[in-house]
Amino acid sequence: MKIVVSRPLPGNALDRLTGIGHDVKVMHPDRSNEEFLKAAAQADAIVSMLSDQLKAETIARLGSKLKIIANYAVGYNNIDVDECSRRKIYVANTPDVLTDATADTTMLLVLMCMRRAIESVALLRDGRFHGWRPDLLLGLDLKGKNLGILGMGRIGEAVARRAEAFGMNVLYHTRSGVKKHLPYPHVSFETLVKESDVLSLHCPLTSETRHLIGKKELAMMKKTAVIINTARGPVINELELAQALAANKIFYAGCDVFEEEPIVNPELLKCRNAVLLPHIGSGTVETRNEMAEMTVNSIIQALDGQKPEFAVNRID
């Protein structure tokens, strides 16, 4: 059967598909969207990336033999899952395997913001380091600070465990309410925003979470607070974040995701107090290889007529 892969994947997972006789077409990294969709229209299975927008009108252009879209990501807000279910196409994702890598990236951003790592590196490299000074680039301690987690799923929990090791007090808010197995206080959204020294976003992107953080919420935050986004860019209003940072309404922001990737709002790029990473949350060799293996497993299961273990929809 024909499998179209949106971009080359790390590791050798795709060999398992060719090994059992499937025809695998891996698109060139510089391919256009049209080229991808043209190839995908002939496919029995597609491996998509979070950057592929597979909305209803695009899905309508795909062939009737398509059985699965295996998204190479845990988030699948780029796919119209309801439309896929209507057309009896499975959608699968890659949960769990990227939890630790993404939680590590979150802590990387927390530390870089709290300790002003980008400014420090720039000062040294620009030849502006003229010797130790008691007041040189002072950051903020993590110990004793409140880490507010918005959206306490697997990644949120992994971040909480890491933050505890740094002596932070964890509090959280999640729309589904208190999670009984967790020792941390569940607080209202407003309390979380107001009380957090570090506010870390871990909610999926939905119509309810789009622009959940904007001018009003940023104004409610402590002046010394840091906001971290390793979830999805549109959860924060990027322009309003840039304006808050420029006016020093909050201390710092650490973002691994952006509203219109790969575009980053020019106002945000100008902010001295923003640490900006190019969506590398899950970007480790081990994690990306494992994601490829899971994606291939899902395809094998779907093409075998089974429901993939990591299907996010039902098609019966």
148 binds ligand DGY (CB under 6 A): no
Closest CA relative to residue 213, chosen from 234, 198, 196, 230: 234
* Shortest Å, Cβ 223 to ligand DGY: 30
Closer by beta carbon to ligand DGY, 230 or else 273: 230
* Shortest Å, Cβ 283 to ligand DGY: 7
Interatomic CA distance for residues 98 and 286, integer angstroms: 9
Chain centroid offset of residue 132 CA: 38
Interatomic CA distance for residues 206 and 230, integer angstroms: 15
Closer by beta carbon to ligand DGY, 98 or else 299: 98
Closer by beta carbon to ligand DGY, 116 or else 279: 279
Cα distances (angstroms) measured from residue 14 to each of 43, 65, 297: 15, 20, 10
Cα distances (angstroms) measured from residue 6 to each of 39, 49, 61, 137: 9, 7, 16, 44
Residues between 55 and 74 with contacts to ligand DGY, criterion CB under 6 A? 73-74
Q: Which residues does the annotation mark as catalytic?
A: 232, 261, 279
* Shortest Å, Cβ 275 to ligand DGY: 17
Interatomic CA distance for residues 156 and 150, integer angstroms: 8
Closer by beta carbon to ligand DGY, 146 or else 282: 282
* Shortest Å, Cβ 49 to ligand DGY: 9
Q: 116-141 as b/e, with b when 16 or more CB fall inside 10 Å?
A: bbbbeeeeeeeeeeeeeeeeeeebbe
CA dihedral 93, 97, 98, 100 (to 10 degrees): 150
Which residue in 50, 203, 236, 302 binds ligand DGY (CB under 6 A)? 50
* Shortest Å, Cβ 174 to ligand DGY: 18
Closer by beta carbon to ligand DGY, 273 or else 287: 287
Residue count at the site for ligand DGY (CB under 6 A)? Answer: 8
Residues between 238 and 297 with contacts to ligand DGY, criterion CB under 6 A? 279, 281-282
Residue whose entry in the numeric block shows the structure tokens 């695009």: 58
Q: Which helix (H) or strand (E) holds 160?
A: helix 154-165
- Residues in the site for ligand DGY, rule: CB under 6 A? 50, 73-75, 98, 279, 281-282
